[in-house]
Structure 1
Amino acid sequence: MAHSKAVERYFPQGTAREAMEFHRQIPAFRMTPLKNLSRLAKFLGVGGIWVKDEAERLNLGSFKVLGGSFAIYRYIQSRLGTHEPLRFDDLMNPEIRTKLGNIVFAAATDGNHGRGVAWAAKTLGFESVIYVHKLTSEARIAAIQRNGAKVVVVDGTYDDAVRLINEDAQKNGWQVISDTAWEGYTEIPTWVMQGYTTLYAETQQQLAAQGAIKPTHIFMQAGVGSLAASAFGFYAGLFGADRPKMVVVEPDRAACLFRSMEIGDGKPHGFPGNLDTIMAGLACGDPNPIAWEVLADCADAFFSCPDYVAAKGMRVYGVPLSGDPMVVSGESGAVTLGALTFLMEQNEYAPLRERLGINENSYILLVNSERNTDPDEFRQVVWEGGHAVPGEYRKYGNPFQRG
Structure 2
Amino acid sequence: MAELIHYLHQEKEDNLSGVNHYGYEQAEKVCRFHSSFPEYTVTPLVRLENLAKIFGVKDIYVKDESYRFGLNAFKVLGGSYAIACELAKRLQLPVEELTYDKLMAPEVKQKLGELTFVTATDGNHGRGVAWTANRLQQRAIVLMPKGTELARLEAIKAFGAEAYITDVNYDDTVRMARKIAADCGGIIVQDTSWEGYEEVPLHIMQGYTTMGYEIVQQLQGVRPTHIFLQAGVGAMAGAVAAFFADYYKADKPIITIVEPEKADCIFKTAKADDGKLHNVTGALDSIMAGLCCGEPCSLAWDMLR
Please give the range of the TM-score, normalised by the shorter of the 2 chains: over 0.9
Q: How far off is 1:213 after superposition?
A: 2.6
Percentage of matched positions with identical amino acids? 44
Which AA in structure 1 matches 2:63?
K
Q: How far off is 1:7 after superposition?
A: 3.5
CA distance in 2, matches of 1:58, 1:28: 5
Which stretches in structure 2 are left out of the alignment for 5+ residues? 1-8
Aligned to 1:109: 121
- Runs of 4+ that moved beyond 4 A: 1-4
Aligned to 1:336: none
Residue 187 (1) aligns with residue 199 (2): yes
Residue 178 (1) aligns with residue 190 (2): yes
Which AA in structure 2 matches 1:215?
P
CA contact (8 A) 2:91 2:112 kept: yes
Deviating more after overlay: 60-69 vs 258-267: 258-267
Deviating more after overlay: 81-90 vs 146-155: 81-90
* Closer, same or farther: CA 9–268 of 1 in aligned 2, 3 Å: farther
Aligned to 2:291: 282
CA contact (8 A) 1:6 1:293 kept: no
Q: 2:222 aligns with which of 196, 206, 213?
A: 213
Q: After superposition, what is the alpha-carbon deviation per residue over 1:69-108, rounded to whole angstroms, capped at 9, x for unaligned? A: 1111111111112225112111111221222121011110
Helix, strand or coil at the partner of 1:56: helix
* Closer, same or farther: CA 28–9 of 1 in aligned 2, 3 Å: closer
Aligned to 1:65: 76
* Mapping of residues 149-168 of structure 1, within 5 Å: 149-168=161-180
CA distance in 2, matches of 1:35, 1:13: 22
Q: 2:90 aligns with which of 56, 73, 79?
A: 79
Which AA in structure 2 matches 1:165?
A
Residue 145 (1) aligns with residue 157 (2): yes
* Mapping of residues 2-401 of structure 1, within 5 Å: 4-5=15-16, 7-8=18-19, 10-11=21-22, 14-83=25-94, 85-208=97-220, 212-296=221-305
Which AA in structure 2 matches 1:14?
E
CA distance in 1, matches of 2:32, 2:60: 28
- Aligned-residue CA RMSD in angstroms? 1.5
Q: How far off is 1:10 after superposition?
A: 3.3
CA distance in 2, matches of 1:112, 1:6: 30
CA contact (8 A) 2:82 2:203 kept: yes
CA distance in 2, matches of 1:9, 1:150: 36
Q: How far off is 1:6 after superposition?
A: 5.3
Deviating more after overlay: 171-180 vs 93-102: 93-102
What is the aligned residue count? Answer: 293
Aligned to 1:388: none
Q: How far off is 1:231 after superposition?
A: 1.2
Q: How far off is 1:60 after superposition?
A: 0.4
CA distance in 1, matches of 2:45, 2:20: 29
Q: After superposition, what is the alpha-carbon deviation per residue over 1:313-347, rounded to whole angstroms, capped at 9, x for unaligned? A: xxxxxxxxxxxxxxxxxxxxxxxxxxxxxxxxxxx
CA contact (8 A) 1:7 1:236 kept: no
Q: After superposition, what is the alpha-carbon deviation per residue over 1:213-261, rounded to whole angstroms, capped at 9, x for unaligned? A: 3211101110000111111110011111111110010100000000101
Which stretches in structure 1 are left out of the alignment for 5+ residues? 297-403
CA contact (8 A) 1:154 1:160 kept: no
CA distance in 2, matches of 1:239, 1:295: 16
CA contact (8 A) 2:23 2:247 kept: no
Which AA in structure 1 matches 2:181?
A
Helix, strand or coil at the partner of 1:55: helix
CA distance in 1, matches of 2:18, 2:226: 18
Aligned to 1:363: none
CA distance in 1, matches of 2:48, 2:24: 32
CA distance in 2, matches of 1:158, 1:181: 14
CA contact (8 A) 1:7 1:237 kept: no
CA distance in 1, matches of 2:153, 2:194: 25
Which AA in structure 1 matches 2:282?
G
Q: How far off is 1:12 after superposition?
A: 5.1
TM-score with structure 1 setting the length: 0.70
CA contact (8 A) 1:218 1:247 kept: yes
